[in-house]
Amino acid sequence: MFFPAYNDALSLPGLIAHTFATLTNLTEDFEVIVVNDGSADSTGAVLADLQSQYGPQLRVITHEVNRGYGGALRSGFAAATKDLFFYTDGDGQYDVRELPLLLAALTPNVGLVNGYKLERHDPWHRIVIGKVYNQFARLLFRIRLRDIDCDFRLIRRELLQSLKLTSTSGTICVELVRKIELSGCGVAEVGVHHYSRLHGRSQFFRLQSLANTLAQLLRLYLKLVILRR
């Protein structure tokens, strides 16, 4: 299990506590990884305290400078050692205690179990932008998955190793899903709850981030759609 984290000092203690409680009830063979993506708050100190509490099963990867959401995910993917890989965001907007719902949908022919938001709890402008982005990306890349923007995913590690992801921004979710669908493996979808952000603010819904995401999205379209023809 892995979490990308950027300025998530306030949400991480509760998230990690729920994570260890959930995983302990599921298996003895697990690891928890947090990628601290150049946080400017006390995320580093909080993670150090959590490591002293939970021991070696909690691993921390620290980026000295912010590499972006895609960069954080790629670090987490590279660090994972277990056969099954689950990730969600470090801001606590999804409940890791719903992981068993994804595990129940992981049949032998399924390589990805993707959550979809039963109801989005965000400010209205984020809901509108999110819907437009999701529909635009699905149409542009011919993606069948209903909720590209739901970062609550369970993936087989062998599948991840074959994908060779390159994105550094939030477009990594589009790249990930598109390449998984192109691989021909089975994909399952499970409805999960989405909660209001209690701490911090989203890095995606800023003008510079949106501009970078759009530019990377167009480059990704050229690579994954146009050049494949």
pLDDT confidence of residue 202: 57
In which band, very low, low, confident or very high, does the pLDDT at 176 lie, cut at 50, 70 and 90?
A: very high
The values of phi and psi at residue 7, to 5°, are 55, 45
pLDDT confidence of residue 204: 53
Q: What is the edge-to-edge ordering of all strands in the sheet holding 32-37?
A: 58-63, 32-37, 2-5, 84-88, 152-156, 110-117, 186-192
* pLDDT per residue as tens digits for the range 103-112: 999 999 999 9
- Among the residue ranges 63-72, 78-87, 207-216, the one predicted with the least confidence is 207-216
pLDDT confidence of residue 190: 98
Q: Does the reported pTM lie above 0.95?
A: no
The three state secondary structure string of 95-143 is CHHHHHHHHHCCCCCEEEEEEEECCCCCCHHHHHHHHHHHHHHHHHHCC
pLDDT confidence of residue 217: 85
151-166 average pLDDT score: 93
Q: Does the structure show a pLDDT above 70 at 88?
A: yes
169-179 average pLDDT score: 93
Question: Is there a contact between 222 and 118 (Cβ–Cβ < 8 Å)?
Answer: no
In which band, very low, low, confident or very high, does the pLDDT at 206 lie, cut at 50, 70 and 90?
A: low
Superfamily for the 2-226 domain: Spore Coat Polysaccharide Biosynthesis Protein SpsA; Chain A (3.90.550.10)
Q: Where are the domains of the chain?
A: 2-226
pLDDT confidence of residue 219: 84
